[in-house]
Structure 1
Amino acid sequence: MTTASMLAAPAPADLDDLPLGFPSIRAAIAQGADPVAIVLESRRRAGAIADEGVFTALVPEELVRAKAEEAAARARSGEALPLLGLTFSVKDNIHVAGMTTTANCPALAIEPRETSAAVLALEDAGAVLIGKNTLDQFATGLNGTRSPEPLCRNAVNPDYIPGGSSSGSAVAVARDVVAFSLGSDTGGSGRVPAACNGIVGIRPTIGLVSNRAVIFNSPFLDCIPIFARTIAEGNEILRTIAGFDALDPWSRRDADAIDVTPAAPESRRIAVPRRDQLRFFGDAEAEAAHDANLATLERLGFTLVEIDFAPFDEAGLLVFQSALVAERLVEYGDTLASRPDDVHPAVRASIEPGLAYSARDAFEALYRMRRFARFAEGALDGFAALVTPTIPTIYRIDEMLAEPMARNTVMGTYTYYVAPMDLCAVSVPGAPRGDGLPSAISVVGLAGKDGEVAGIAAAFEAGAAAG
């Protein structure tokens, strides 16, 4: 069915209860729902929670309406708009011309003239931006509490952390406010909040998606991840925004040749950490859920092979315990120096160590990163993927605030290593924990293996849903 013919059927009932997942929106449009009305319903939901710490700013309703009407007019003229009626939000370190970028630190306050290349690609496909999401300030943190009040809260249980740093991006999807969202991921910020809120988080190969018009933590490590309800939905967005960008010096020249479509892997062998190396920090519910998730993979016909996870742990230390931390000073150093009291104490404590590193330290860290990436190529040779828990446990907000540094580090146990080893990853929900909180696994592959990683994740998603 063409986009134009979808707009011609009888209209369905009230949109207040319409789930904003892709199939629901597309079915509603096929039955005659006005895509403009669907977009405005998403904007209404965002406005209803505007004071709950999920958004830093909303696109004005009149501009949302204008963008939606423009997309609908294009569709009626016969233009193919695969994302018609879908809405999205972006983390507030992604530039949108006309909206202030704060990285959740008002003292930063950048007024960008350029809109992110990823946002432009989504709008070209018919999607409409609803707002900018809260984050751990300066995208530094994995828990969601390193931000001004009101704190963003977990969509499943508000007593628990939402995960960070892309907290608002994940919660906006999990609370059915937008159809999908974008974040940024240095050490796990596109996967940890997805796991905490029971949704999908896709971290592409570095350079596969343009980072143009994004504030960096680390150009060497950063990418734009996607938050969605399902692997299919997230992967559709990845296909929309992936590709070579000649204006982005970090873009991969082979980006257009990387097939991100979910595909069955050539191997049925999956690497998993040795049992004695798995850490859940006393969380028996998390451990039991992970056992159930591994059983699902075995039921799907995968052979699980234990490998030594110690080198992956060691690689993860580079993200926050090496001279790579000094990269944050490129974007945030002036604000830290001129207005230190406007920087969250935990964020300041994470960034200030970068001041103590030398140029030699930085080169040594880069050399180590290259060695770890080469090690990963050999360690994962012959495997379809590496599978770990996405998070080892989940803390209540009061627990995180009581011990913000050590417990934040715990949240990155199974995510920090991915970027310095030049890997791609997908976090996908698994078996529910006994206490009702979500569990998740990370499916991790070598750079450029995004399609195979997605294929395994999709198979696991279906297997977990089937029980």
Structure 2
Amino acid sequence: MSVLGDTAVGPATTPTERVVRAYRRIAEVERPEVWITLREEADVLADAAAVEDRLGAGEELALAGLLVAVKDNLDVAGLPTTAACPEFAYLPTESASAVSRLVAQGAVVLGKTNLDQFATGLVGTRSPYGAVRSAWDSERVSGGSSSGSAVAVALGVADIGVGTDTAGSGRVPAALNGIVGLKLSLGLVPTHGVVPACVDYDCVTVFAADLDAATAAARVMAGPEPRDPRSRTWPSDVRLAAPAVPRIAVPRIEDLAELCPEYLAAFSETVAALEADGVVTQSVDISGLLAAARLLYDGAVVAERYAAVGRFLDTRPAGADPTVAAIVAGARTPAAHELVADLDALLRAKSAAAEVLADCDALLLPTTTEHPTVAAVRADPIRVNRRMGTFTNFCNLLDMAAVAVPGSPTVQGHPFGVMFVVPAFGDQVAIDLAARLTGATAPTLVDTGVDLAVFGAHLRGQPLHFQLEHLGARFVETVSTTDAYRLYALDTVPPKPGLVRRGPGAGAPVVGEVFRLSAAGLGGFLAALPAPMALTSVELSNGRSVVGFGCTHDAIDGATDITEFGGWVAYLNS
């Protein structure tokens, strides 16, 4: 059925049984503030039955029967979109592109979830539909603005929570509720059908209990959308894997000044755990990133919030949250020349960030600074919210991606989260690193690329394997050729074998490894390939033909035939 197996609502079972369990769980947890529109169970059961019919007809559905909670600033056909403001409500006839793609792959929508109004906030309390509380402590905030979607997952009601992220809304709630939050590179998941907050910096995000489910949903949602002029696709040189020994940037202690003491200790534990696992860490100065983050609210960029909903809030609707209304009203005043200056500052900050992280595969950060109570946020709604976005606000401004996962527990054993932050389109690298921290098998997000078979010095553990790692190549499988090939030890530095096709039955199977790398990576690899090596089509024993290493026939004159060993590593070990 679903490729994901066990999920939040219980062991893999029929879509209908998942729905029954979910509504039973909704009754158990008694968290009505999570939902703005919860669909009738009978309607959701009908959708589940339709998924079962599709499966019975032989369709392969990547998300068959998984239950989805959708933040109420994304359209779901037939359900009102409110953005947590009753007077703003409208009834869409078409779902947001991201939601449509999930449903097309067998996901079932439970309903629309609560949020900080107009996706303005990181706390989850700025809503006339009620403050969404943490899944594990009703006195504490859930984090926002994607509060309801995150808590629906954390409570074990939904398998997937769909949210948005402009300043951290797809990551802070993940950290505060002990789940996974994926914020892909800008534009990879289209925002068609999303109520904008800051249209140039908005992302559709996904929450799940684990990386597998989150990545599966993100893979389905990603892809260009003609109706979204900001949508993007994977570039030709996209990195498809993190290296075996990654180098992770971590902030200097002075850059962590906003962390509460418990979170600082937990972050140090997380760094130590990575180092114990063989990850190389490097202290870097992120003060420039933190300065850029302040432009999202203190600079003229905030004008995008007024452009999105300012004229509506100028009508003073009764359901407007006072804090949100004040923030958006303040976004009316920046002058055009101030916005131009801020955009220039962001470009300079982006360039500086690239220099700071040039020698590293990712930047590790605490997701947020603390876990405040609902009472603390109500007492000081602006300052607490601002503090919570210290490490998240810059990400979209500087065109970066991030994966938020649980880190080491705090001293009290409460959830604590970290992020792996990467430049645009480094999403797969961030997922690989997050999997390493959490002890999971890294799921595949990027399903593009070209398969390359190697048989000698580029195998894992061999002296030229670093060239593939440098290109971000991803290990796929161990393979063997058909019996049409012979293998020779060549007189090269470093030592390499040469694979030559002799014809069916004229050789023997030769063991190799297949890696997937980007099209541009393969092109660069081929351009730098020294004689007598060559890339050609290689027939594998499983019936596939892939691009693979060979060598020119004249190169084997006088070379030792080592076919009998069955592979290069076996020959070296002999």
The TM-score normalised by the length of structure 1 is: 0.89
Q: Distance in 1 between matches of 2:435 and 2:238?
A: 16
Q: Which AA in structure 2 matches 1:354? A: A
Q: Provide the residue aligned with 1:426 in structure 2.
A: 403
1:436 Cα offset (Å): 2.9
Q: Provide the residue aligned with 1:382 in structure 2.
A: 359
Q: Is the 8 A contact 2:310 2:332 kept in 1?
A: no
Residue 157 of structure 2 corresponds to residue 170 of structure 1? no
- Taking only aligned residues, the RMSD between alpha carbons, in angstroms, comes to 2.1
Q: Provide the residue aligned with 1:305 in structure 2.
A: 282
Q: Distance in 1 between matches of 2:116 and 2:82?
A: 11
Q: Distance in 1 between matches of 2:147 and 2:392?
A: 16
1:43 Cα offset (Å): 3.6
Residue 309 of structure 2 corresponds to residue 332 of structure 1? yes
CA, structure 1 residues 173+114, in 2 after alignment: closer, same or farther (shift >3 Å)?
A: same
Q: Provide the residue aligned with 1:156 in structure 2.
A: 136
Q: Provide the residue aligned with 1:11 in structure 2.
A: none
Q: Which AA in structure 2 matches 1:134? A: N
1:255 Cα offset (Å): 3.3
How many residues align? The count is 439
Q: Distance in 1 between matches of 2:68 and 2:90?
A: 21
Q: Provide the residue aligned with 1:265 in structure 2.
A: 243
Q: Provide the residue aligned with 1:323 in structure 2.
A: 300
Q: Is the 8 A contact 1:244 1:255 kept in 2?
A: no
Q: Which secondary structure state, in structure 1, belongs to the residue aligned with residue 127 of structure 2?
A: coil
Give a deviation string over 1:133-177, Cα, whole Å, max 9, x none: 100111100011111253211011111111011111110000000
Q: Provide the residue aligned with 1:413 in structure 2.
A: 390
Q: Provide the residue aligned with 1:98 in structure 2.
A: 78
Give % identity: 37
Q: Distance in 2 between matches of 1:300 and 1:230?
A: 20
Q: Which secondary structure state, in structure 2, belongs to the residue aligned with residue 342 of structure 1?
A: coil
CA, structure 1 residues 334+111, in 2 after alignment: closer, same or farther (shift >3 Å)?
A: farther
Q: Which secondary structure state, in structure 1, belongs to the residue aligned with residue 70 of structure 2?
A: strand
CA, structure 1 residues 259+226, in 2 after alignment: closer, same or farther (shift >3 Å)?
A: farther
1:260 Cα offset (Å): 8.6
Q: State which structure, 1 or 2, has the greater radius of gyration over its C-alpha atoms.
A: 2
Q: Is the 8 A contact 2:154 2:179 kept in 1?
A: yes
Residue 416 of structure 2 corresponds to residue 439 of structure 1? yes
Q: Provide the residue aligned with 1:115 in structure 2.
A: 95
Q: Provide the residue aligned with 1:219 in structure 2.
A: 199
Q: Provide the residue aligned with 2:469 in structure 1.
A: none
Q: Which AA in structure 1 matches 2:281? A: L
Q: Which secondary structure state, in structure 1, belongs to the residue aligned with residue 33 of structure 2?
A: coil
CA, structure 1 residues 48+58, in 2 after alignment: closer, same or farther (shift >3 Å)?
A: farther
Q: Which has the higher contact order (CA 8 A, sep 6+)?
A: 1
Q: Which AA in structure 1 matches 2:230? A: W
1:309 Cα offset (Å): 1.2
Instruction: Give the alignment of 1:24-423 within 5 angstroms.
Output: 24-26=10-12, 29=13, 34-46=14-26, 52-252=32-232, 254-255=233-234, 263-265=241-243, 268-281=246-259, 283-423=260-400
Give a deviation string over 1:324-349, Cα, whole Å, max 9, x none: 21111223112211125431111122
Q: Which AA in structure 1 matches 2:339? A: A
CA, structure 1 residues 64+256, in 2 after alignment: closer, same or farther (shift >3 Å)?
A: farther
Higher helix share: 1
Q: Which AA in structure 2 matches 1:204? A: L
1:116 Cα offset (Å): 0.7
> What are the ranges of 5 or more consecutive residues in structure 2 without an aligned counterpart?
441-574
CA, structure 1 residues 312+407, in 2 after alignment: closer, same or farther (shift >3 Å)?
A: same
Moved more, 229-238 or 331-340: 331-340
Q: Is the 8 A contact 2:248 2:280 kept in 1?
A: yes
Q: Distance in 2 between matches of 1:259 and 1:36?
A: 39
Q: Is the 8 A contact 1:265 1:455 kept in 2?
A: no
Higher strand share: 2
Q: Is the 8 A contact 2:114 2:129 kept in 1?
A: no
Moved more, 205-214 or 359-368: 359-368
Give a deviation string over 1:286-337, Cα, whole Å, max 9, x none: 1111111111110111121111111001110121111221111223112211
> What are the ranges of 5 or more consecutive residues in structure 1 without an aligned counterpart?
7-17
